[in-house]
Every structure is written in structure tokens, then in C-alpha cells.
Amino acid sequence: MRRSAVRIRSGPHHPSKDVLILEKMKKRNCSGCDECCRYVAIELDKPTDQTDRQNIIWFLKHKNVKVYIGFDNKWYLEFSTPCKELDRKGWCKDYDNRPQICREYDQKDCTGHSLSSAEKVCFTDSKEFKKYLEKKKIKLS
């Protein structure tokens, strides 16, 4: 992913958070960041039974997939996959005709410009999810 930024791991107070320091501003508010165009996230029902939990394990067995709990306490399934309309510099090739969801996206919600994480809890593989269930004393079978 190309962007005009440097990623620095934060100190011990926030070990899981990345701080994004922008080097320069560009014409659009995005400042060269195309992070919102590199994934699709859909809301999931909170897992309440074994079938739900097994489905999450199955999701997490796939590449470029994560499941997370947002600060709104909602569960999400995220696929890391870039928009087909991105050019090599990370700009939309069809900006004037972009979908409404893109038009309404608020930069203040952008994790690329935020000093905090977008997720309260994030699972990138099934082992992390199983550990979470163990910690919560939720059985898988």
C-alpha cells in the first residue's frame, strides 16, 4: 500500500496501536491515504451459540480476513481487498462516480488518520478467537 506516511509503533502505554504520522497534505482530505478503499467490513450478529462461534473460526481460517468487536460493541467481519478503482498512487480512478457509501465516509472515522485503534478486540486467526473464548469461559463444544 502506497501512502505519504510513516508508521511508528507506539510505546508501552498502547502496544497494540499504530500511530500514523502524515508527512504532507495532498489535494483531497485523504492526504494520500487509501486505507478505507482496501477493505470491506460487514456487521455480524454477536455470536450466541456454537454454530456462530464455529462460523467465526471458519472465517478466520481464510487469508486476508479478520473479525473484530468495535468500540460500538458490534461484531464485524472484514475482508482485506482493495477496490478495483484504485490507481497505483491510491487515488480513485472514478472519483466523480464513486458509490454513495464512499461519498458519505467521514475522514474522522478513518483508521489511517486516527491515533487510536478501530477495534476494541480484533481476531486475525482462529487461535486468537479460541483464546478469547477461553478467557470468557465460553466452550466451543
The model's pLDDT over 45-79, given as tens digits with 9 standing for 90+, comes to 999 999 999 999 999 999 999 999 999 999 999 99
Q: Which domain holds residue 114?
A: 35-135
77 CB burial (10 A radius; 0-12, 13-18, 19+):
middle
Q: Which residue has the cell 478505507?
A: 36
Say how many C-beta atoms besides its own lie within 10 A of residue 133's C-beta.
16
With respect to residue 9, please indicate whether it lies within any of the assigned structural domains: no
Q: What pLDDT sits at residue 108? A: 74
Range with the largest mean pLDDT of 4-8, 21-25, 109-113:
109-113
- Cα–Cα distance measured from residue 93 to residue 87, given in angstroms and rounded to the nearest whole number: 6
Instruction: Give 43's strand partners.
Output: 76
pLDDT at 22 over 50: no
Q: Is residue 25 part of a domain?
A: no
Q: Residue 59 and residue 127: Cα distance in Å, rounded? A: 12
6 inside domain: no
Confidence at residue 141, expressed as pLDDT on a 0 to 100 scale: 73
pLDDT tens for 78-117 read 999 999 999 988 889 999 999 999 999 887 777 776 667 7
9 pLDDT band (50/70/90 cuts)? very low
Task: Tell whether 2 is covered by a domain.
Answer: no
In a domain, 29, yes or no: no
| Within a domain: 18 | no
- Number of domains present in the structure of the chain: 1
